[in-house]
Amino acid sequence: MPDANRQIVLDQLPQGRLLAEHFRLTESEPPRPGAGEALLRTRYISLDAANRAWMQGATYRSALNAGQVMAGGALAEVVEADSPDLKPGDLVFADTGWQDYAVLPAKRLSKLPNLQPATHLLSVYGVAGLTAYFGLLECGRPKAGETVVVSAAAGSVGSLVGQIAKIKGCRAVGIAGGEEKGRWLTGELGFDQAIDYKAGDFKKQIRELGGIDVYFDNVGGDVFEACLFAMNTFGRIACCGAVSQYDGTAPQHGPRGVPGLIVTKRLTLQGFIMSDFAEKNDQALADLQSWVASGQLKVQEDVIDGFENLPQALVGLLAGENRGKRMVKVS
Amino acid sequence: MPDANRQIVLDQLPQGRLLAEHFRLTESEPPRPGAGEALLRTRYISLDAANRAWMQGATYRSALNAGQVMAGGALAEVVEADSPDLKPGDLVFADTGWQDYAVLPAKRLSKLPNLQPATHLLSVYGVAGLTAYFGLLECGRPKAGETVVVSAAAGSVGSLVGQIAKIKGCRAVGIAGGEEKGRWLTGELGFDQAIDYKAGDFKKQIRELGGIDVYFDNVGGDVFEACLFAMNTFGRIACCGAVSQYDGTAPQHGPRGVPGLIVTKRLTLQGFIMSDFAEKNDQALADLQSWVASGQLKVQEDVIDGFENLPQALVGLLAGENRGKRMVKVS
């Protein structure tokens, strides 16, 4: 049995920008599983913009409070489980929080397939991959030849959205910060075009796209507004997140053009999280696996070593320093 | 043949609020139809909030310019037509503009059924009725037992939306200005509840509804924002218009919560105009006729007599003085 459980606690709720100082490292007794429970050891902890959103209040999960172990999903290994479906060594995806060990009800856990590399279970075959797949195909409903624009395009979800758009015969445009990310999107991932949202002529570049059919929004704010004004009639906006709005105080205003442009352009905006489409997971995973196997879908992972680096890894993700799926290797 | 054609011209584009003084009455030679054309005499001209929106710029139709005959739809009678499908006396709905006579390509016109009263062809069996029907049923997709909220509820569209929601087994809540309209909605039209958007505790009343499943938005602005914050998970917003935004300068900001709440509540917002669903018109008209015949759907019309009263009738509509469908009887 383990003899210590490192934990990272959200020490204070941030008022403005999140800092590593808002967290503190502590240690506790390892938890012990009871009837119907499983003891898990975290292997890789997922870093997501949503981690920051949970600090702002209740979303699709309850709000985080100061003093709690920081919440987060992880790829974890079963140490022991009171369940016929789980045995030691099995891998699961679970809301372990930022700690070495966690106890969870066994019936909420499902054994993951034995895929290599295992980190893909947190990226392309995990939340990021399913979010990109369902958001684009179910909410965006792109048709071949259409223009698909995705923001936070160098991130874990965005980098997959653009590639899936290409697989579906669309023109893929990625919005990301900085020229280097742009070169990576067009050079390595096969996007047709990249637009730097930090460029002075950003709005002009968006206007000059000649009309957007599907906008996959990860950021909200000014980028959302610019794309809204450039949508084609009957365009679709998949609302996946609003990372530009998470790391600070709540914005005073929303984007202009709502709801006026939604009416005149007859747009559909749909908010979603990937679990809304859980009944289609098997098909999604089969498609993603075949695209990865054929080389059509490239998977970029950004793995940081060391449990103690979790706070800075999240702060850096919110500042846009990652490419692809960021995670911290714990054990 | 007629010997004069009264016309109302949009003399100046309004910068702020629209006034009757922005229009002027003039007279011209009656137009003469050529090959493939029809000469129409307007009987009833429809007044709509959209008339004002067209002055703000291109929408789903090109923008209006100063010096043009004011645009508008009308119930009109065929005087003569170079077409095998139209004969003198037939009624059509056409974009005649504000004038006694108009010439239009005959192939764009379809003969309307001979219903009594004929004014219903402009209200429940016209744009208003089809807008209410398609917006609620196709975009809102209400299920029995759900809470449906509609703004501008005493208007031509809103008054039908709430009644159709009741027919579908929903709880219908209407937002309108003033207690008198509210009493009419609940007393005469069978809405379950009315909320006065001018009341000091308006937002509190919206919050206390206990969650909105379908919001049919005719107004945009603060009312839209209040309802957005009160939506239930997986709620639908039918975006029909933004009358609060039409009569003035363009707003500087949109509602808060966009797109953040769309994501966390997994909402669907859909903009539409009734012609988007034209392939389902027959079913819609059959349903509307059967509900009117059975007394389940009450039709309120606000008919103003006299061509010269058109400008003031539109100004008054934008100020919310009408109940039900406003139109001006021309001949």
Residue A106 main-chain phi, psi, to 5 deg: -60, -35
CATH class of the region B5-122+300-329: alpha beta
One of 3.20.20.30, 3.90.180.10, 3.40.50.300, 3.40.50.2000 is the CATH number of A5-123+300-329, namely 3.90.180.10
The alpha-carbon gap from B318 to the nearest alpha carbon of chain A, in Å, equals: 16
User: What confidence category does residue B57 fall into, taking pLDDT thresholds of 50, 70 and 90?
Assistant: confident
Q: How far apart are CA A153 and CA B198, in angstroms?
A: 44
Q: What's the Cα-to-Cα distance from B315 to each of A213, A287, B19, B243, B322, rounded to whole Å?
A: 37, 57, 6, 12, 11
Which pLDDT does position A1 carry in this prediction?
Answer: 60
- Which candidate from B253, B254, B263 shows the least CB-CB separation from A271? B263
Give the chain A residue whose CA is nearest to the CA of B219. A259
The single residue listed with the structure tokens 């900085």 is A178
Are the C-beta atoms of residues A265 and A227 closer than 8 Å to each other?
Answer: no
pTM: 0.95
Residues in chain A with CB shorter than 8 Å from the CB of B239 are 259, 262-263
Residues in chain B with CB shorter than 8 Å from the CB of A264 are 53, 59-60, 271
Q: How far is CA B321 from the centre of its chain?
A: 14
Which pLDDT does position B60 carry in this prediction?
Answer: 83
Residues B128, B130, B132: CA angle, nearest 5 degrees: 70
Which pLDDT does position B243 carry in this prediction?
Answer: 86
- Average pLDDT score, chain B: 96
Residues in chain A with CB shorter than 8 Å from the CB of B254 are 225, 253-258
Residues in chain A with CB shorter than 8 Å from the CB of B253 are 252-254, 256
Give the chain A residue whose CA is nearest to the CA of B259. A220
Mutate to test the interface with A, among B55, B245, B269 (most CBs of A within 10 A): B269
CB contact under 8 A, A271 and B267: yes
ipTM of this predicted structure: 0.94
Q: How far apart are CA B197 and CA B220, in angstroms?
A: 12
Which pLDDT does position B159 carry in this prediction?
Answer: 98
pLDDT in tens, B205-216: 999 999 999 999
Which pLDDT does position A3 carry in this prediction?
Answer: 78
CB contact under 8 A, B268 and A271: yes
Find the mean pLDDT for residues B81-100: 97
CB contact under 8 A, A273 and B263: yes
Which pLDDT does position B3 carry in this prediction?
Answer: 78
Return the CATH number of the domain spanning residue range B127-275. Answer: 3.40.50.720
- Which candidate from A239, A254, A266 shows the least CB-CB separation from B253? A254
CB contact under 8 A, A259 and B224: yes
- What is A254-289 written as a DSSP string? B-TTTTHHHHHTT-EEEE--GGGGGGGHHHHHHHHH
Q: Are strands B5-10 and A37-46 parallel, antiparallel or unpaired?
A: unpaired
pLDDT in tens, B185-240: 999 999 999 999 999 999 999 999 999 999 999 999 999 999 999 999 999 999 99
HSE value, Cβ hemisphere, 13 Å, CA-based, for B261: 23
H-run or E-run covering B185: helix B179-187
3-state DSSP assignment of residue B310 = helix
pLDDT in tens, B9-32: 999 999 999 999 999 999 999 999
B241 pLDDT more than 70: yes
Give the chain A residue whose CA is nearest to the CA of B269. A269
Residues in chain A with CB shorter than 8 Å from the CB of B268 are 268-271
Domain coordinates of chain B in residue numbers?
A: 5-122+300-329, 127-275
The alpha-carbon gap from A27 to the nearest alpha carbon of chain B, in Å, equals: 33
| pLDDT, one tens digit for every residue, chain A (331 residues) | 667 999 999 999 999 999 999 999 999 999 999 999 999 999 999 999 999 999 988 888 889 999 999 999 999 999 999 999 999 999 999 999 999 999 999 999 999 998 899 999 999 999 999 999 999 999 999 999 999 999 999 999 999 999 999 999 999 999 999 999 999 999 999 999 999 999 999 999 999 999 999 999 999 999 999 999 999 999 999 999 988 888 887 777 899 999 999 999 999 999 999 999 999 999 999 999 999 999 999 999 999 999 999 999 999 999 999 999 999 999 9
